[in-house]
Structure 1
Amino acid sequence: MSTPLTGTTALVTGASGGIGAATALSLAAQGANVALVARRKDRLDELVGRIHSSGGVALAIEADITDRLQATAAVDQTVAAFNSLGILVNNAGIMLLGPADSAPVEEWDRMIAVNVQGLLYTTHAALPHLLSAAEGPRGTADIVNISSLAGRVPIAGSAVYSLTKHGVGAFSEALRQEVTGRHVRVALIEPGPVATELFTHIRPEILEAGKEAFANATLLQAEDIADTITHVVTRPARVVMSEVLIRPDGSQW
């Protein structure tokens, strides 16, 4: 039986866990061939096994998208395997929090490299293929950029993380204006706090200091965001969901 994304190929970055892994599973369940891109090949292989066991099609691609050549090669490998690319989910990201005056500058470099440069490199490599796919039977192609509530509402302790996510929002809107007439949809997804590994990247002392703020907070689940992404890319070609803000119930942020 045909499913909404049958015949479509999706590439998901940061697919080794959290939102990326949940999105890969969800898109595969809708019939997409899914290229899984991340640095942790063992986890990608495990996820490929899960998708295959459910009757889906997936390919593991080990790559560090902060390296432009590796990002480009990941796109090329996807197209070589599946002959097209119709959906790009730019999910890879890191969140390193703390006051700006005491922050290790290396953390800023890492966030800019992954959250901004990696997204740009992958998008640039994917765009020709997405524009071509938009002329096919589906009548559209999709770029989904994962931002954050922090990309809309900056708070103390998240200055550079917020900067990167505001940048993703600005890039997404400008790109939408450029490609919407060519039937490529650009969606910005802005989740609030999600229960993923993102928090484990934070320095222990910063995590401890902020523990009280999250003590009684309801956290979103990775599957909540994956469901939203899948909803966005399975709309009729005439429907463009260009921005989705997702807060957990009771959130004060």
Structure 2
Amino acid sequence: MINVDETEIDKFSQLAHKWWDMSGEFKPLHEINPLRLGFIDERAAITGKQVLDVGCGGGILAESMASLGAAVTGIDLAKKSLKVAQLHSLESGVAVDYRCVAVEELAEESPASFDVVTCMEMLEHVPDPQSVVRSCASLVKPGGWVFFSTLNRNAKSYLLAVVGAEYVLNMLPRGTHEYARFLKPSELSRMARNAGLDMDAVRGMSYNPLTRIYSLGEDTAVNYLMACRRPE
């Protein structure tokens, strides 16, 4: 069985045409993208590297990594999102190889093929996040980097990421997130260890509703990034 929730695929497929609308539902992803990109490039120095973006959606992160000179492959199971990503790639002239394939399938097909693997805001949308983490670990070369981002599971994250972002500030469509699927950093780091990865760093991502500015820091209570490496 493919590790996918069809309800989640449908949810993002209905919004696919808005991926590159800077003032639409995906505005927060555009705003945090420079922070993600900096976190990744600071550690992995992606220029000239083979990079895989798992759950690439409309290609926001994938294109930005390709713009730095990485050879990027983006995979997703939402065909409409991939169509949008492909069209935008043609318009921007930034080449990305997009494929509709499950990460587990690609891991069997092409193990240890990438210098860097990224998986952003996807783990909380799949039935079996451990399977995704394991596949990402399999796809990266020994010595390579794997980056995850997801949402912590606690009262603060529920209030800010669900109630605040979806129902009060209307930053995200209602029903975007299912709180029970959020992952604590301890849970994600355990999944990474079980997959043979060494955790290198964890950084929290915070949003100030007054200044409307996102920043990286030590507070991992809501959204966080995790950098891991596969041992040589």
Q: TM-score, with normalisation over the residues of structure 2?
A: 0.51
The corresponding residue for 2:136 is 126
- Indicate the structure (1 or 2) with the bigger Cα radius of gyration: 1
**Residue 99 of structure 2: which of 48, 53, 61 is its match?**
61
* Stretches (4+) displaced over 6 A: none
1:179 aligns with 2:179: no
Q: CA 1:192–1:33 in 2, change beyond 3 Å: closer, same or farther?
A: same
CA distance in 2, matches of 1:188, 1:52: 34
Q: CA 1:26–1:189 in 2, change beyond 3 Å: closer, same or farther?
A: farther
The corresponding residue for 1:5 is 46
Q: How many residues align?
A: 164
The corresponding residue for 1:67 is none
Tell me by how many angstroms 1:39 deviates: 2.4
Greater per-residue helix proportion: 1
The corresponding residue for 2:150 is 147
Aligned to 1:48, the other structure's residue is in SS state helix
Tell me by how many angstroms 1:35 deviates: 1.9
Q: CA 1:54–1:47 in 2, change beyond 3 Å: closer, same or farther?
A: same
Aligned to 1:90, the other structure's residue is in SS state strand
Tell me by how many angstroms 1:153 deviates: 2.8
Tell me by how many angstroms 1:45 deviates: 3.6
**Residue 116 of structure 2: which of 71, 79, 87 is its match?**
87
CA distance in 1, matches of 2:136, 2:107: 6
The corresponding residue for 1:39 is 77
Q: Is the 8 A contact 1:12 1:34 kept in 2?
A: yes
Q: CA 1:47–1:133 in 2, change beyond 3 Å: closer, same or farther?
A: farther
What is the percentage of aligned positions where both structures have the same residue? 12
Q: Is the 8 A contact 2:46 2:116 kept in 1?
A: no
Unaligned runs of 5+ in 1: 64-69, 95-110, 135-140, 195-215, 229-240, 248-253
Q: CA 1:126–1:31 in 2, change beyond 3 Å: closer, same or farther?
A: same
The corresponding residue for 1:207 is none
Aligned residue type for 1:14: G
1:28 aligns with 2:73: no
Q: Is the 8 A contact 1:13 1:37 kept in 2?
A: yes
Tell me by how many angstroms 1:24 deviates: 0.9
